[in-house]
Amino acid sequence: MDPQLAQTLKFDSNGLIPAIVQDATTSEVLMMAWMNKEALDKTIQTGKTHFFSRSRNKLWLKGESSGHVQHVRSVALDCDADVLLIKVAQVGAACHDGYYSCFYREYKPNDEVKFKVVGRKVFDPETVYG
Amino acid sequence: MDPQLAQTLKFDSNGLIPAIVQDATTSEVLMMAWMNKEALDKTIQTGKTHFFSRSRNKLWLKGESSGHVQHVRSVALDCDADVLLIKVAQVGAACHDGYYSCFYREYKPNDEVKFKVVGRKVFDPETVYG
């Protein structure tokens, strides 16, 4: 990793940093996932987002199963250097549930249905993931 | 806390969940901070964002020193129910460094100055925080 980047960023005690992914065109927030140094390096080198899966304990290329990769347009860091904001061109959709953004449900405290689907569905997960 | 919300959200082993804050008008991502159940409850009840500070180990109202509060417009959750996206009307600016968004620096791997300031400065921190 670029030594200036490694010195600046603050990875947590597990060696991870949260990465917010935002659509570079529409500005929708698509997802948040975690990166370790290797994931960030691969993201910068390949121009496609890579993350570290805490549940599977391994690196993954976003879109490796679905083809829904994210082409990196810019990488920003916050004031504390402990969160990344990655702007991308999204192929297909970000969410494995078939929605364009993972944040497709809004909490409505006063409604009968408290989690209202507000996102747009782009694909059928059964078809894509089999 | 609303039992339906408490049952749905996945707080981590420290009882925290990351909350991404986005400007409801411009769609800029302003910051990311952590909430515990109490912070989320206060955010929903008061309509102003509250967070839990891991370094100070206490609840804080965003803007309690600066007056730069965030009025909540909507609360969304992601597919895994372990990240929140809060859309707000920002008073003043989100960043304590004086920028409108905390993500005011872009990483430029091929430039001489690798962290380029791209955000707009709104106030002088010396004046606001003394």
pLDDT tens digits along A63-97: 999 999 999 999 999 999 999 999 999 999 999 99
pLDDT of residue A38: 97
Percent of chain B with pLDDT strictly greater than 90: 95
Contact residues for A10 (Cβ-Cβ < 8 A; gap 6+): A17, A80, A81, A82
- Across the interface, do A103 and B78 touch by the CB < 8 Å criterion? yes
Contact residues for B16 (Cβ-Cβ < 8 A; gap 6+): B34, B35, B36, B52, B54
Q: Which residues of A touch B28 (CB under 8 A)?
A: 27
pLDDT band of residue A128 (cuts 50, 70, 90) is confident
Closest CB to B32: pick one of A31, A83, A105.
A83
Backbone angles phi, psi at A116, to 5 degrees: -95, 130
pLDDT of residue A19: 98
Tell me whether 0.95 is exceeded by the ipTM: yes
Percent of chain B with pLDDT strictly greater than 70: 100
pLDDT of residue B62: 98
pLDDT of residue A130: 76
What are the pLDDT digits (tens) for B52-109? 999 999 999 999 999 999 999 999 999 999 999 999 999 999 999 999 999 999 999 9
Closest CB to B107: pick one of A29, A75, A102.
A75
Which residue(s) pair with B75 in the sheet?
B86
